[in-house]
Structure formats: C-alpha cells, structure tokens
C-alpha cells in the first residue's frame, strides 16, 4: 500500500514537472516567434542579423545594440538600437501591427527601440505592456500626440521620446505618473505651455524638453528636490527667469539657453553646490552673474544684457528691456538648424525607396538645401520635372517633415519631382554626415 502511494506520488510529481517544462518551452517558443516576427516587421535590420528561428533568445549574449533579458523564461527586457541615421522603414511598415506584435510580450518591463526607422503614430495599445518601467523609443519618425493610454502605466519610471516628430501639448496626466523619474522629450514638435502638474513629480531626476516649440512660463519647479538635469533649451519660454532653479538641491545640469527669459540676476544669488553646467545664453537677462557661478565648471551666459565686463558677448540693456516688452507680441521665428536633419533623413529614406516615389521629397530636399543655405552645395539634381505622384507614405509624415522646416505645402497638391540624374548627389556637409 505504502509502495503504491509512493509510486503514485512519483508519477504525479514527474507528470507535473514534465507539464511545467512543456509549458515553459511553449512560452519560450511563442516568445521566440514574436521576436522573429519583430525582426521581420523591422525589415531585418543588420543589428538583428544573428537572430533566427532556432535562436535561444534568453541565453543570447547581450551586445551594445541588442539585448534580451529573461526572468524565469519570460522576456522582461528588450533593447534594439539600430544604426545612427537609420532611414525610414518601408511604406508597408505599420506601427499598428508592430505594436500589436510587441504586446504579445506582456511581461516586458524595459523596452528600448531606438534608431530603427519606426514611423507612424504611437498606438495607445502599447499601454497593454502594463509592467513597463522604462520606455525608450528615441530617434525614430513617430508623430502625433502622446497617447492618453500611457497614463495607465503606473510603474513607468522613464519615458524617452527624444528625436521624433511628436506634436501637440503635453498632457496633464504626465504629472500623475507616480514614479516617473526621467522625462526626455528633446527634439520633437511639442507646443503649448507646460502643464502645472509637472511640478508634482517629486521623483523626477531628468526633465529634458529642449528643441521643441513650448511657450509661456515654466511651472514652479521648486519642489523637484531630486531634479539633476533640467534642459529647457531652444523653446519660447518667457517670464522672469526662476532663480530658484539655480538653487535646486540636486541640480547638476541646467540649460535654459535660447529662450526669452527676462529679469535681473544678482551677485548674491545662491546656487546648488552640485551645479556643473549652466547655460543661460540668448535670453533677455540683465544684472550681474551670481558669484556662486564663478567657480563652476561651465557657465555660458552670452547673448544676454548682463554686466559681465565682456561687452562683446552681451547686448545693451535697452535691447533686453525692449524685447521683454515685445515678448508675446511678436512671434519668435526660429532658425532650426538641427531640424532639417530629420527632414533630410525622411527625404533620403523615401528617395532610397522605389524610384517612382521620389515625389514630394525632392521638394523637401530643395527646402533642406534652402535651410542649409550657408553650407556649400557642390552638386544637386539639375533636371527636375514636377508632376503629381504619391510616395506611398502617408501625407501626414511628409507634411510633418515639411513642418519641421516651417514650410506649408497645400495638402491637396502632392507635387512630385522626378529625377533624371542617375545619382542623387547631396553634398551639403550635413547630408554627408547623415549618410556616413
Ligand atoms: C515589405 O515589402 C518588402 C518588399 O518590398 C518585403 O520584403 C517585406 O517583407 C515587406 N514587409 C512586410 C512587413 O510586409
Ligand atoms: C541560427 O543562428 C545560430 C547562431 O545564433 C547559428 O549557429 C545557427 O546555425 C543558425 N541556424 C540557422 C538555421 O540559420
Ligand atoms: C534612449 O536610448 C538611446 C539609445 O540607446 C540612448 O542613447 C539614450 O540615452 C536613451 N535615453 C534615455 C533618456 O535613457
Ligand atoms: C500645437 O500643435 C498642434 C498640432 O501640431 C496644433 O493643432 C495646435 O494648434 C498647436 N497649439 C498651439 C498652442 O500652438
Ligand atoms: C542681494 O542684493 C540685492 C541688491 O544688490 C539686494 O537688494 C538683496 O536684498 C540681496 N539679497 C540678499 C538675500 O542678500
């Protein structure tokens, strides 16, 4: 009797073990299939060239561009970082299907998909990855607004959307993400004023909003005692420069350059002992640089109306006073050096596609050329014929690209230019950089 019980227990235990092994193998293989599908949807980028259907993804050696991390056989981290200057994925790419595939890895906590040529709007269903802690989809061609569904990601610690074409105003709910510590939105087309709710993000360590079209006054950040990096460069912020920013207890990097901050600085102003980099340049500041900045590593203050003893780098006080009065009346046109690169990549990406699709992009190229007029152009397509044609990419993408250059195309007219030259020689300095 005892013997029978023993053997029954043995059978039962081995049955359970074999079932669970099968189960975990199944999980692994279905996740492996998902990764293979991701590889396919990303158009087999060279960084994934070692992936195939028999790869054991959980035991792959991580590289600087690709890594898969598993916990008990389920994938918790996925990092895919393509090559810099990666062009657009082809027109049959669908961000919608891509994210539908991604969310079948529901245990993902960390997701980096950078420089992969992703284009389209970010589907809200990405929030089905409900354990996400870090989302980094920088250096792609994603547009439209941040989907509201992201507000449900209560464990989100880091959101990096840098170097895309996201637009619209920042949603108020960003300030309600309970553990957000990194919000990095550099080089997009966000506009409007910053929501006051950002001042509630007491865990925030990094707030990078440079190179967007934000405007208005900045919220009161004095409660952000963990903030180490504050980058507001190159927007249209106005109002008195909040002196408390210099004294935030943790701040090491403060960049408010190329805005329209006004007000007077005093020598006796105090600063955080942690400060290593301060850029106040090209604002409308008057007065004297605080003494506490003198000992700091890097302080950039030119293009204001400060009394620094270096008259060359500063403007007369009357200039700042007059400009300060005019702020809000005269819209501030920006010279977007860096922006043309995104449009250029789109142009090259589309040109790189099917010849028939050269289209509108040539117009954009010509605009890029205009924008980069200061750079020498040795050769450019000489024979152009304008005609109606479609590039196959959504007009939204091309319109955004043209908006990057602050040029408006009539949406009805998708004029295209066919190039008869065999080669497209784009030899501005910038473009050469992009292509290398
Ligand atoms: C897109 O089209 C190319 C051929 O132009 C094809 O090789 C590729 O598999 C297609 N991608 C998808 C995701 O359908
Ligand atoms: C799959 O990739 C592994 C290395 O990751 C390689 O050893 C193997 O030969 C490949 N199998 C096929 C079918 O290509
Ligand atoms: C996002 O990923 C890119 C590529 O790995 C990296 O360079 C960048 O620092 C990341 N951004 C943030 C905010 O972590
Ligand atoms: C912000 O941009 C969006 C879309 O790009 C536009 O519809 C909206 O009017 C802009 N808002 C402001 C305040 O400029
Ligand atoms: C700093 O100096 C200004 C004028 O030089 C003075 O009005 C102000 O009271 C001083 N502030 C402190 C905290 O000493």
Would you say residue 368 has pLDDT above 80?
no
Q: Tell me if 338 CB under 6 Å of ligand 4.
A: no
Contact 233, 258 (CB under 8 A): yes
Distance 188 CA to ligand 4 centre (A): 13
Distance 217 CA to ligand 1 centre (A): 47
Average pLDDT over residues 125-131: 98
Distance 169 CA to ligand 2 centre (A): 47
Average pLDDT over residues 100-110: 97
Q: Tell me if 71 CB under 6 Å of ligand 5.
A: no
Return the ligand number nearest the Cα of 169. 4
Calculate what percentage of the chain has a pLDDT beyond 70: 70
Pocket perturbation via mutation, ligand 2, pick of 50, 55, 63, 66 by most ligand atoms within 8 A of CB: 55
pLDDT attached to residue 228: 98
Would you say residue 286 has pLDDT above 70?
yes
Would you say residue 198 has pLDDT above 70?
yes
**Residue 290: HSE in the Cβ half-sphere, 13 Å Cα cutoff:** 19
pLDDT attached to residue 308: 84
Average pLDDT over residues 241-266: 96
Report pLDDT digits (tens) over 53-74: 999 999 999 999 999 999 988 9
Question: Would 33-168 and 185-331 be classified into the same CATH topology?
Answer: yes
pLDDT attached to residue 424: 32
Q: Tell me if 291 CB under 6 Å of ligand 5.
A: no
Q: Tell me if 266 CB under 6 Å of ligand 5.
A: yes
Distance 172 CA to ligand 4 centre (A): 16
Q: Which two tokens stand for residue 241?
A: 């420069």
Distance 160 CA to ligand 3 centre (A): 7
pLDDT attached to residue 290: 93
Give the domain ranges of the chain.
Answer: 33-168, 185-331, 337-408
pLDDT attached to residue 87: 87
Of 309 and 2, the structure prediction assigns the larger pLDDT to 309
The closest-lying atom of ligand 3 relative to the alpha carbon of residue 184 is 13
pLDDT attached to residue 392: 74
pLDDT interval class at 426 (50, 70, 90): very low
Distance 269 CA to ligand 5 centre (A): 8
Would you say residue 11 has pLDDT above 90?
no
pTM of the model: 0.81
Of 352 and 257, the structure prediction assigns the larger pLDDT to 257
pLDDT interval class at 352 (50, 70, 90): low
Would you say residue 419 has pLDDT above 50?
no
Q: Tell me if 270 CB under 6 Å of ligand 5.
A: no
Q: In whole angstroms, what is the distance from residue 67 CA to residue 58 CA?
A: 9
Would you say residue 187 has pLDDT above 70?
yes
Q: Tell me if 54 CB under 6 Å of ligand 2.
A: yes
Q: Tell me if 335 CB under 6 Å of ligand 2.
A: no
Of 401 and 48, the structure prediction assigns the larger pLDDT to 48
Q: Tell me if 399 CB under 6 Å of ligand 4.
A: no
Least confident residue range of 155-164, 360-369, 391-400: 360-369
pLDDT attached to residue 5: 62
Least confident residue range of 16-20, 118-122, 251-255: 16-20
Query: 185-331: which CATH topology?
Result: 3.80.10
Q: Tell me if 322 CB under 6 Å of ligand 2.
A: no
pLDDT attached to residue 433: 25
The closest-lying atom of ligand 4 relative to the alpha carbon of residue 193 is 13
Average pLDDT over residues 404-411: 42
Report pLDDT digits (tens) over 295-343: 767 999 999 999 987 778 999 999 999 988 887 544 444 545 555 567 7
Average pLDDT over residues 407-422: 31
pLDDT attached to residue 85: 82
pLDDT attached to residue 223: 96
**Domain 33-168 architecture:** Alpha-Beta Horseshoe (3.80)
């Amino acid at each position: 009797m005892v013997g029978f019980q023993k053997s029954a227990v043995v059978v039962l235990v081995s049955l359970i073990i074999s079932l669970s092994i099968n189960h975990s193998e199944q999980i692994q293989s279905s996740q492996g299939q998902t990764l293979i599908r991701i590889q396919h949807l990303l158009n087999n980028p060279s960084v994934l060239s070692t992936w195939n259907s028999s790869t054991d993804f959980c035991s792959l050696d991580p590289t600087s561009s690709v890594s898969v991390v598993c916990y008990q056989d389920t994938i918790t981290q996925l990092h895919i970082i393509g090559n810099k200057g990666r062009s657009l994925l082809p027109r049959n790419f669908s961000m919608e299907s891509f994210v539908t595939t991604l969310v079948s890895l529901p245990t993902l906590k960390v997701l980096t998909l950078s420089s992969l040529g992703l284009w389209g709007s970010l589907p809200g269903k990405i929030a089905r990855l409900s354990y996400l802690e870090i989302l980094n989809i920088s250096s792609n061609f994603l547009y439209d607004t941040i989907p509201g569904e992201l507000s449900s990601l209560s464990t989100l610690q880091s959101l990096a959307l840098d170097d895309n074409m996201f637009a619209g105003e920042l949603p108020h709910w960003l300030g309600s993400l309970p553990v957000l510590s990194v919000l990095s939105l550099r080089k997009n087309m966000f506009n409007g004023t910053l929501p006051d709710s950002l001042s509630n993000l007491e865990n925030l360590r990094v707030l990078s909003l440079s190179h967007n079209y934000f405007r208005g006054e900045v919220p009161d950040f004095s409660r952000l005692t963990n903030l180490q990096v504050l980058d507001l460069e190159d927007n249209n912020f106005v109002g008195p420069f909040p002196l408390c920013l210099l004294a935030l207890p943790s701040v090491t990097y403060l960049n408010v350059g190329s805005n329209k901050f006004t007000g007077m600085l005093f020598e006796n102003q105090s600063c955080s002992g942690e400060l290593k980099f301060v850029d106040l340049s090209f604002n409308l500041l008057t007065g004297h640089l605080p003494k506490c900045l003198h000992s700091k590593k890097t302080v950039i203050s030119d293009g204001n109306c400060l009394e620094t003893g270096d008259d060359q780098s500063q403007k007369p006080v009357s200039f700042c006073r007059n400009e300060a009065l005019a702020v809000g009346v005269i819209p501030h046109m920006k010279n977007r050096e860096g922006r043309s690169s995104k449009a250029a990549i789109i142009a090259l990406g589309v040109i790189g596609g099917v010849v028939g699709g050269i289209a509108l992009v040539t117009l954009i190229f010509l605009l890029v050329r205009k924008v980069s007029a200061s750079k020498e152009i040795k050769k450019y397509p000489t024979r152009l014929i304008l005609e109606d044609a479609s590039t196959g990419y959504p007009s939204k993408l091309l319109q955004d690209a043209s908006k990057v250059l602050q040029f408006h195309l009539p949406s009805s007219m998708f004029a295209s230019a066919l190039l008869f030259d065999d080669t497209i020689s784009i030899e501005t300095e910038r473009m050469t950089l992009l292509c290398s």
